[in-house]
Amino acid sequence: MSADLTRRTAAELAGLLAAREVSAVEVAQAHLDRIAAVDPDVHAFLHVSDGALAAAADVDARRGDGEPMHELAGVPVAIKDVLCTLDMPSTAGSRILEGWIPPYDATPVARMRAAGLVPLGKTNMDEFAMGSSTEHSAYGPTRNPWDLDRIPGGSGGGSAAAVAAFEAPLALGSDTGGSIRQPGAVTGTVGVKPTYGGVSRWGSIALASSLDQVGPVTRTVLDAALLHDVIGGHDPKDSTSLTDAWPSFAAAAREGLDADSLAGLRVGVVRELDSPGFQAGVSQRFHEALELLTAAGAEIVEVSAPHFEYAVAAYYVILPAEASSNLAKFDSVRFGLRVTPPGGGTVEDVMAATREAGFGAEVKRRVILGTYALSAGYYDAYYGSAQQVRTLIQRDFASAFEQADILVSPSAPTTAFRIGEKVDDPLAMYLNDVTTIPANLAGIPGMSLPAGLAPEDGLPVGFQLMAPAREDARLYRVGAFLERELERSWGGPLLAQAPQR
């Protein structure tokens, strides 16, 4: 029974819990047992909560008292370590925040707790979310459950691996340039970056504030929609939070699961993101998924986004610039590490010694790059130009969305690469984000869902959907439909083909 519970989707667990066929304590214990069994190999978690069983028992008691409960009450969830949690350390994968316990919960965490979800722990990530492999974590890499010698993607490799290894049915991630979607792609899971402003960033340790967005990491499209419904919506504590009244994303996903066809839907293939330079098996699975959409009555159109070739360059100016400013708060005064240089020194000497000791190589690289891009004499050439490129990319999207209702591409150019393969080559690592970055620059929502295994290496391939800003529901409707068609073609979920651990 215990093993079975970890294989269930969040929607299935919700049904079992509501029908009182299982208790929240049993569900939590099954996942804690699973974590104890597989996490020594996978290393998805930086911290496992000692409060999960008590939180689950509370849900059981309230349900027993007949209290009206949220649909997901009692379902466990893993939380990326970038999100502040009152009862667990929050390090963002950095030595400089080792052991720090925040005085508040991030809004998405607070909303999950209020709905009765049960936090299992905090998941590993590239330090301050800077990376595409989770190798830049100060606490060691996470391993891909499909092949332990390979990266689980990044920066949210811990959340994706936890979900792929059946350690948690749901997880939270954050996506600044693909940190939810690319890990989803390489682990055979589902990840959604909502419209910018759709989910509160309050309590999410900021990387690049004009790009960051918190979102769901799950095994099915419906589960992502259910979690998005819990965490989304206006938050007065985040001044960039949209005040829109959002539709139910779970209803949109269910509509997609029940739909007979996609007749009338225009699907735009972004020519610049369907590159002959991508891994052959990635392109093959992407085009096979397009054939399923065609067979379902969708019209496939090719669209062009000529400025996407400047997206990675613009991103690696804007991100370091914003990060160098955001990370200035790690000054050895208010929280985290303090290192005093030999013989003492002024507060600035202490600050410099602390940041030298507390930041890893990638963080130093990007902070110094950002400082350069923002410095007098270079500001216009780099930061100013990058912001103009951002306008051009938004225009490319606007024009593409005149011809298509939804845009599609492979979620990442390759399947999971080997641990160590790119860690010493920052530029090669950065190019891994070529498919995901445009959505962040434009603020639009994007989803990655599994598209099959690449024939040459047997590793998962991701299919990316992108919708206009505020049209997240479209991702869930089309994504759930495509997921159903793909699973029919495979005879079950893709993760059923993953190595048993």
Q: Which is nearer to other proteins, 51 or 426 (CB)?
A: 426
Encoded tokens for 29: 């214990």
- Report the alpha-carbon distance of residue 174 to residue 189 in Å, rounded: 15
Give the CB-side neighbour count of residue 30, counting CA atoms within 13 A. 22
Catalytic annotation present for 80: yes
Smallest separation (angstroms) from other proteins to the CB of 440: 8
Encoded tokens for 11: 């929607």
Q: Which is nearer to other proteins, 121 or 443 (CB)?
A: 443
Q: Which is nearer to other proteins, 223 or 362 (CB)?
A: 362
| H or E segment and range at residue 125 | none
Smallest separation (angstroms) from other proteins to the CB of 276: 21
- Where are the strands (E) in 256-396, listed by range? 266-270, 299-303
- Report the alpha-carbon distance of residue 115 to residue 55 in Å, rounded: 11
Q: Angle CA(486)–CA(492)–CA(494) in degrees, nearest 5?
A: 70
Exactly one of 23, 80, 283, 411 is catalytic; which is it? 80
Q: Which is nearer to other proteins, 184 or 336 (CB)?
A: 336
Catalytic annotation present for 489: no
Q: Which is nearer to other proteins, 126 or 147 (CB)?
A: 126
Smallest separation (angstroms) from other proteins to the CB of 59: 26
ω before 275 within 30° of 0 (cis)?
Answer: no
Smallest separation (angstroms) from other proteins to the CB of 240: 6
Q: Angle CA(416)–CA(322)–CA(420) in degrees, nearest 5?
A: 25
Smallest separation (angstroms) from other proteins to the CB of 303: 19
Catalytic annotation present for 155: yes
Smallest separation (angstroms) from other proteins to the CB of 355: 5
- Report the alpha-carbon distance of residue 319 to residue 298 in Å, rounded: 36
Could you give phi then psi for residue 46, rounded to 5 degrees?
-90, -25
Q: Which is nearer to other proteins, 145 or 194 (CB)?
A: 194
Exactly one of 179, 200, 204, 409 is catalytic; which is it? 179
Exactly one of 49, 133, 155, 283 is catalytic; which is it? 155
Q: Which is nearer to other proteins, 3 or 328 (CB)?
A: 328
Q: Which is nearer to other proteins, 301 or 392 (CB)?
A: 392
Which of 474, 413, 90 has the alpha carbon at shortest distance from 266? 474
- Report the alpha-carbon distance of residue 407 to residue 298 in Å, rounded: 12
Give yes or no for a contact between 221 and 480, defined as CB atoms under 8 angstroms apart: yes
Give yes or no for a contact between 135 and 266, defined as CB atoms under 8 angstroms apart: no
Smallest separation (angstroms) from other proteins to the CB of 207: 15
Smallest separation (angstroms) from other proteins to the CB of 164: 30
- Report the alpha-carbon distance of residue 134 to residue 126 in Å, rounded: 4
Could you give phi then psi for residue 301, rounded to 5 degrees?
-125, 145
For every residue of 21-55, which 3-state class applies, written as one string?
CCCHHHHHHHHHHHHHHHHHHHCCEEEECCCHHHH
| H or E segment and range at residue 113 | helix 107-114
- Where are the strands (E) in 111-257, listed by range? 118-123, 170-174, 190-193, 214-218
Q: Which residues are catalytic?
A: 80, 155, 179
